[in-house]
Structure 1
Amino acid sequence: MGKEIYKDAIFFDLEHYLYKKPICIGVFGCCYYDSESDELKVTQYMIESKKDAPDILNLSVEYFKEMYEKHNKRYIVTFSGNNDFTVIEYLYKKNNIDFNLDEHFIKVDLQREYEKLMGANIGLKNLEKIFDINRESELISGSNLSKTFCKVMKDFDYMNRMPEEKRQRILLYNEQDVASLFRIYVDWKKFLKKEEKISSQP
């Protein structure tokens, strides 16, 4: 995993709702490093009602195409991204959206990279601790997010009744996920050096 690749990568995370099969994307989150402004540019699309479900898929395709064509991004970095890819690709197919992520991006899974290196599985929150990343956002369980998006799909007025604070909490949680992927990726070599020192000690 080369540090220089981060300039050619997007960092991707979904919050979604599944019931036996993928139902919808709740939040699409992606970021990339803008070298001109030296900052992370985060893009998020959040579902507000059932009618938004196809719109988010179309917006995600526009985003991926723009990243590929305009910004020359060639890598997509995730954490345990298989699940997210399965969901989004299933929904593309179901909605007759002709877009293939594998034709545009090389997939890099930080969980798998850690597993290859350390021979052990790890969750994102524990990996953040190793990289000294302190979250601004509260942790939200996947099941709580699923329940929220289930209500959105069943009740067209649910989002209007949801406190703004809860909406912002979900968005911040997703934003923290993609920002963490970037930071972990950039600090990966530092982590490797630390590991090499530990393993070379008698």
Structure 2
Amino acid sequence: MLKQQEVIPVAVQGSEQTLKFHGKEIIRNAIFFDLEHYLYKEPIAIGVFGAAVYDEAEKAVITTQYMIENKRDARAILELTKEYFINQKNNGKQYLVTFSGNNDFLVINHLYQKYDILYSFEDEFELIDLQKEYEHKFQKNIGLKNLEKLHQIDRGGELISGMTLAKTFSKIIKDQGYFDRMPLEKVEKILKYNEEDVVNLFNIMNRWESVTMDDVLILEEKLQREKMEKLALKALLEEQIELEKDESNHPFKGQKEELGYSS
């Protein structure tokens, strides 16, 4: 099992900027949580567990990550996650913050049940989904990456598709020695991707009230413009391909040159 912890200095904004829950500031008492997992018809394993909390004494966000190295870690990572949540609850954390976290909870609850691990997130924490909070505030839906853009958050790491992650974890589960053969850069990229997910949940909550409806409309206009530009470019490329096909299939192509004509 690969374990990693980072201390990232941050400053909590004033209470007028942070997200409130039932009128209370909760950022100091929250866990920010995200999973990278492997499913095939049903949940198979958690590939990476990532969580972060704000530490008042350190004036920093402290991230904790576990990554499986083989099939044997499939149960061990679940035991570690349960231990982490119990410890954080004992440290005074009361809220569990995700973005569109239903899938993560479905996966981890299914795997807890599969391995006879007794734990109830609903009984231990108030569950807060930032996607639902955004929908409630602006009456609109949004993805995590666009929500990050709204809050002026630029990712330093490279984005990774869910399909790429699933293939990687599938190989780790099926091939005992695959993790040892993985390039270190690939492992670091996966961990960085997950770490940015959980840290950015904190950053979004920390700047929640700084985003206005005007900001939302400006972003939507920009995204629509980018979409139209991509569609126009795609149509242009497709037209060019068709023209090249027509030219290559022309029955008289090359005959003029053979007869000494030019065009």
Question: Does structure 1 conserve the Cα–Cα contact (< 8 Å) formed by 2:138 and 2:213?
Answer: no
Secondary structure of 1:146's counterpart equals: helix
Q: Distance in 2 between matches of 1:197 and 1:151?
A: 42
Which of residues 86, 91, 98 in structure 2 aligns to 1:65? 86
Name segments (4+ residues, structure 1) moved above 4 Å. Answer: 196-199
Counterpart code for 2:132: R
Instruction: Map 1:44-55; keep pairs closer than 5 Å.
Output: 44-55=65-76
Aligned to 1:131: 151
Aligned: 1:117 with 2:137: yes
Counterpart code for 1:56: I
Aligned: 1:27 with 2:48: yes
Residue 198 of structure 1, CA deviation: 8.8
Per-residue CA deviation, residues 158-186 of structure 1 (Å, 9 max, x unaligned), is: 00110000000000000000000000001
Q: TM (normalized to structure 1)?
A: 0.94
Structure 1, unmatched stretches of 5+, are none
Aligned: 1:82 with 2:102: yes
Distance 1:115 1:155, change over 3 A: same
Residue 4 of structure 1, CA deviation: 2.1
Q: Distance in 2 between matches of 1:89 and 1:55?
A: 15
Which of residues 154, 158, 165 in structure 1 aligns to 2:178? 158
Aligned to 1:6: 27
Aligned to 2:256: none
Aligned to 1:195: 213
Q: Which has the higher contact order (CA 8 A, sep 6+)?
A: 1
Q: Distance in 1 between matches of 2:216 and 2:104?
A: 34
Residue 195 of structure 1, CA deviation: 3.0
Q: TM (normalized to structure 2)?
A: 0.72
Distance 1:120 1:198, change over 3 A: closer
CA RMSD of aligned residues (A): 1.5
The count of corresponding residues between Structure 1 and Structure 2 is 196
Aligned to 2:114: 94
